[in-house]
Amino acid sequence: MLKINNLHASIEDKAILKGINLEVKAGEVHAIMGPNGSGKSTLASVIAGKEEYEVTEGNILLEGEDIDELAAEERAHKGVFLSFQYPVEIPGVSVTNFMKTAINETRKAKGLEDMPAKDMLKMIREKSELLEIDRKFLSRSLNEGFSGGEKKRNEIFQMAMLEPKLAILDETDSGLDIDALRIVANGVNKLKSKDNAVIVITHYQRLLDHIVPDFVHVLYNGKIVKSGGKELAHELEAKGYDWIKEEVDA
């Protein structure tokens, strides 16, 4: 699904990622953990194709294809989805209208006709039930005046609508209370299949109790310094990151 080879990336000449190697296969869930400023969100942005970041070395392969030259929307068309840590507001554009535009633009890129309104409605109904979203919510302006929890739930709703191959959840747990966390995690679990993959970026163990990872990676200072199974997350929860820093810096 995703193969990252020796990825170096910088912003305004400041190197953030310093040689990332990662392979994510279909059907897998990977967790990326690490202290603040280690480059977790940068990695997510670079995979999604944010223009401000410059890839200086290495490459990213999606299903064997080098996506380095592709614009963000083209990567999205190929099935890359990023759940944002800080979803932006777009006043006057309803959640429904935004989703309709996103789905039809993706279909257009694949040479398909617009999705018939009937199918779209059915899909919206199903996916909003999955995430326990009130229908009134869908007519509101995108993220405008949404609570932290609503924003994150809306991100996962969009993920459900777009049915990506590779979903990257960037700190989706931040700002969620325990009930919202459960709903969001259940949503993600139901969307998981043998054909797609999920990368969960988080500080904390608690989300990983609900979305159980196959692999856990620790990112520190722009590199993956430790990988392991789900027990690594528990170890980090218990011991913090200092021991890893010491190991690396030693």
| Residues in contact with another protein by the rule CB under 8 A | 48-55, 68-73, 76-77, 80-82, 84, 87-88, 90-93, 97-98, 101-103, 105-106, 109, 141, 158, 162
Nearer to another protein, 152 or 226 (CB): 152
Nearer to another protein, 26 or 102 (CB): 102
Q: How far is the CB of 238 from another protein (least distance, A)?
A: 35
Q: How far is the CB of 163 from another protein (least distance, A)?
A: 12
Across 53-80, b (16+ Cβ under 10 Å) vs e yields: beeeebebebeeeebeebeeeebbbbbb
Q: How far is the CB of 49 from another protein (least distance, A)?
A: 6
d(CA 142, CA 166): 23
Beta bridge partners, 220, equal 223
Nearest to 97 by CA among 135, 148, 140: 140
Nearer to another protein, 71 or 212 (CB): 71
Q: In degrees rounded to 5, what are phi and psi of residue 62?
A: -115, 120
DSSP H helix total and E strand total for the chain: 9, 12
Amino acid at 141: S
In this structure, are residues 59 and 226 in contact, taking their beta carbons and an 8 Å threshold?
Answer: no
Q: How far is the CB of 50 from another protein (least distance, A)?
A: 6
Q: How far is the CB of 160 from another protein (least distance, A)?
A: 13
Q: How far is the CB of 55 from another protein (least distance, A)?
A: 6
Nearer to another protein, 103 or 232 (CB): 103
Nearer to another protein, 172 or 205 (CB): 172
Beta strands, E only, the chain = 2-11, 14-24, 29-33, 53-62, 65-66, 80-83, 90-94, 141-142, 166-170, 197-201, 215-220, 223-228
d(CA 45, CA 48): 5
In this structure, are residues 26 and 45 in contact, taking their beta carbons and an 8 Å threshold?
Answer: no
Q: How far is the CB of 141 from another protein (least distance, A)?
A: 7
In this structure, are residues 31 and 233 in contact, taking their beta carbons and an 8 Å threshold?
Answer: yes
Nearest to 49 by CA among 21, 77, 26: 77
Nearer to another protein, 95 or 224 (CB): 95
Nearer to another protein, 90 or 120 (CB): 90
